[in-house]
Amino acid sequence: MGLLGVWVAICLAYAKLLCAVWREPIFKTPLLVLESDDWGAGPVEQAVALERLIDLLTDCRDETGRPALMTLGIVLQTADRDAMQADNAAGYVALGLDEPSQAPVLDAIRRGVAAGVFAPQLHGLAHYWEHSLFATRADMPAVRSWLEAPGLGWTEDLPSALQSRWIDARSLPSRALAAAEIGAAIEAEVSAWKRIFAERPAVAVPTTFIWDKAVELAYAQAGVPVLMTPGARYVARDAEGQPLRSGAPLFNGQRGCGGNLYLVRDAYFEPVFGHAAQRLSDDTAARTALGRPTLVETHRFNFCGPRASEGAFASLAEGLRLVRRRCANLRFVSSAEIARAIESRDLRWLETRFLRRCVIWARRVLTLPGFGRAARLTGLAWPLRALGVIA
């Protein structure tokens, strides 16, 4: 078989994936969304960090004058540990975000929304499956210590596997939850969201990015149209507690089994882990070259709680300054706006010119691990790179 035949064979082997990349929308303009998870019901110290973020984001604006925007993955309930201890409760007791004691946190969220710098997204009724968490207290000292400590706890301190809401992680490997349980839980959290925010959630972000098809269907049935993903589906935890991947890569604009529209969050900015300001600029430039929006994952633990660093705020401000300088015509948007542009095929945002789409497609496919490796080994990468540099 000649070289051309080898290239054809490789393309046929990856045909389904190459077609999925072709169908993925291409954005004309650099788009940046800061996606921060784990906010909501919990220690009221969050309010101070949220107020600082409001000031920081308001001071950073794109060329249209719009301030930087941070989506907040909101948790609507947390364990009321004091109530459980005081009442010697036999079961789990929850404290909701709309309880009077949580007013400083909820007020700060609402002020940020009114200022145009926060966009709430549904992270879950809790950051764990309540039954799994409470059932492990006898056998897991870390859980027992967390549940018995005074005040409200930082869920980041819980074992990682138990922070996954949509699995039963009482033992590992984890087990799937019943579809009926999932449906009832999602109905409850959407109802709570509507009570607190007076509208349905536009975007759901599964905790720790572990969910299965039953979760997708339940969100779709509850009227939540967009599901945030890390570019893959993880459905369980293995015997070591690591996420188990299932299926092919996911792309912006793909549809889930319930009709949910997928978005991909695959950039990361965690100053506590040593991520420098330059990383935000580099990630945005790289995704802009691929015609993709840059959805940047970060967490509240950078800005408040026992792991927080005072330097996180400065790093974020510097990162935003660098990305504005580097990326011409940068726009700050929300994930829901990106989803609406895909849904409506908004030509102000999306590229439709055939040659330009071919250029971006060539760049994208070379980033696919399997195909990209095969293309480099056989020389197919050379014509794809040549196509990818066409203006």
Residues 21 and 104 both lie in one domain:
no
Count of structural domains, the chain: 2
136 DSSP assignment = T
Structural domain including 10 reads: 1-26+351-391
Q: Are residues 141 and 47 in the same domain?
A: yes
Tokens of 104: 């400083």
For residue 325, give the CATH number of its domain. Answer: 3.20.20.370
9 and 86 in a common domain: no
Q: Are residues 3 and 54 in the same domain?
A: no
Confidence of residue 86 (pLDDT cuts 50, 70, 90): confident
Distance from C-alpha of 361 to C-alpha of 304, rounded to nearest angstrom: 40
Predicted local distance difference test score (pLDDT) of residue 391: 55
Which helix (H) or strand (E) element contains residue 115?
A: none
For 245-302, what is the HEC assignment? EECCCCCCCCECCCCCEEEECCEECCHHHCCCHHHHHHHHHHHHHCCCCEEEEEEHHH
pLDDT digits (tens, 9 = 90+) for 243-257: 999 999 999 999 999
- Report yes or no: 113 and 119 within 8 Å, Cβ to Cβ: yes
Q: Is the pLDDT of residue 59 over 90?
A: yes
Whether 310 and 380 map to the same domain: the answer is: no
SS3 for 85-109 is HHCCCCCCCEEECCCHHHHHHHHHH
Res 380: pLDDT: 87
Residue 91 banded pLDDT, cuts 50, 70, 90? confident
Residues 126-139: pLDDT tens digits? 999 999 998 998 88
> What single letter denotes the amino acid at residue 97?
L
Same domain, 19 and 113: no
Same domain, 203 and 265: yes
**CA–CA dist 204, 76 (Å, integer):** 13
Same domain (yes/no): 344, 356 = no
Are residue 18 and residue 65 in the same domain, yes or no? no
Q: In whole angstroms, what is the distance from residue 4 CA to residue 365 CA? A: 18
Residues 211-234 as b/e (b if ≥16 CB within 10 A, e otherwise) read: bbebbbbbbbebebbbbbbbeebb
Q: What is the mean pLDDT of the chain?
A: 95
Q: Are residues 170 and 281 in the same domain?
A: yes
Q: How many Cβ atoms sit within 10 Å of the Cβ of residue 208?
A: 21
Claim to verify: residue 276 and residue 311 sit in the same structural domain: yes
* Selection from 157, 119, 154 nearest residue 295 by Cα: 119
Q: Are residues 241 and 212 in the same domain?
A: yes
